Amino acid sequence: MFKLNETHSINLISWVESANRAGCDYSIQNLPFAQFRRMNSNENFRGGVAIGDKVIDLAALSLMGVLKGKAQAAAQACTQPSLNEFMAMGVEVWSALRLALSRALRNGSELQDALTICLIPQSAVEYSLPCQIGDYTDFYTSIHHATRVGSLFRPDNPLLPNYKWVPIGYHGRASSIGISGQTFHRPNGQTMVPGAEKPCVGPCKRLDHELEIGIFIGQGNHLGEPIAIENSEDHVFGICLFNDWSARDIQGWEYQPLGPFLAKNFASTISPWIVSLEALAPFRTSFSHPIDDPQPLPYLTSDINSEAGGIDIKLQVFIQTEKMRNDSQEPEKITDSNFHHSYWTIAQMVTHHTVNGCNLRPGDLLGSGTQSGPELAEAGSLLELTVGGKHPITLSNGEKRAFIEDGDSLFIRGNCHRDGAAYIGFGEVVSTVLPAKNNLKHR
């Protein structure tokens, strides 16, 4: 686990003036990674680092030869069309590049002229997925979400007995994960209407968002070699914001006995910037299960996980309906939550995923599962906020939403801030629902 070092100092000032503004997501203490190119160009996508309202072109920087050693090797790896090679290089290399960039971006740096040439306005770039995502696993780490949803699907048995013992997860579909800005058609699928004698097929009527964080694996492990919890975070490249779209009516019909399938694999959306665990070191929190709950088994326990396994990441969800967009109305907040409510930590997710010998690879993605807090206003899905659609929310313009409608855009934003630490932002992830493609024979 990363300890505080010179890159976290709240006193650091960058010569990139926009990075010093209060509330700037991409301060000099952040330095997240993405894959980008100039908008509407035929350039290759390559690695970049956010600083203020600019992107550092790491491919251009690597050609200048001003970085040395591991930092230069890292920048060279970021010239590729995905970050997989850089992710595979490991924590020492990631940290070396972060330190070199931090020093080069500080006021008085001798490298200011060199880096200035490598800066591109964020307003002039577009993003791709940061890496080739080989596998995607979605966890279920919010006990508040699990209990509320369980009460809707299984009123007599909302929280299954294994939940407090096992970091529950399922393997999702990597091919339908898109970058922020993703648009997708409302999914068609098979549902069973209450009281009907047989299922029907047609457009989903209970489309929902899920407020999650995404966890990118860096260095992997060999098949058959589990990752110990003490070492698990060394295998995590960083985290992003994640909206795991869900078709609740399809899910309700298909999920037993094998869990989610078509209800979850039609679209998921991630934010472009990956924030390193090193950048989040000032926001670590203690972790524990309630004293009356089962305590984690030994392989899921360590002193450092108990002392600082949690992360204080503030999360918000906003909605902008088509009418709001047409009326030039800004997105409206519907949820405030926090990742520190998670029942399982990132370290525990990684460790449990590999306890059977499963091999993780650079670029693999773990979803945290919907991040809901103890209060209903902290719910990370409309399924919870509207109590299964029974109590629609009313927006400021008078529109009501039980579930997501065609034309709606969902925004997820996240940040970390506290006294004595610099503000760290994740940017946002936004995606928009289009009408279903009506090319099925409905019956």
- Token code pair at residue 148: 């509320």
Q: What share of the chain is helix, strand, coil (3-state, %, to 5)?
A: 25, 25, 50
Q: Is 145 a catalytic residue?
A: yes
Q: Which residues contact 96 (CB under 8 A, 6 or more apart)?
A: 69, 70, 71, 74
Report the alpha-carbon distance of residue 85 to residue 288 in Å, rounded. Answer: 35
Q: Residue 360 in contact with residue 218, Cβ under 8 Å?
A: no
Report the 10 Å Cβ neighbour count for 436: 17
Residue 334 φ then ψ, to 5°: -120, -10
Q: Which residues contact 439 (CB under 8 A, 6 or more apart)?
A: none
Instruction: Give the residue carrying structure tokens 């997105």.
Output: 331
Report the alpha-carbon distance of residue 11 to residue 364 in Å, rounded. Answer: 35
Q: Residue 269 in contact with residue 180, Cβ under 8 Å?
A: yes
Instruction: Give the residue carrying structure tokens 């009501």.
Output: 400
- Token code pair at residue 146: 């699990």
Instruction: Give the residue carrying structure tokens 């998670």.
Output: 342
Q: Which residues contact 123 (CB under 8 A, 6 or more apart)?
A: 53
Report the 10 Å Cβ neighbour count for 147: 15
Report the alpha-carbon distance of residue 3 to residue 13 in Å, rounded. Answer: 21
Residue 15 φ then ψ, to 5°: -75, -10
CA angle 387, 390, 396 (to 5 degrees): 90
Catalytic residue among 145, 235, 341, 352: 145
Report the alpha-carbon distance of residue 344 to residue 375 in Å, rounded. Answer: 19
Give me the active site residues, please: 145
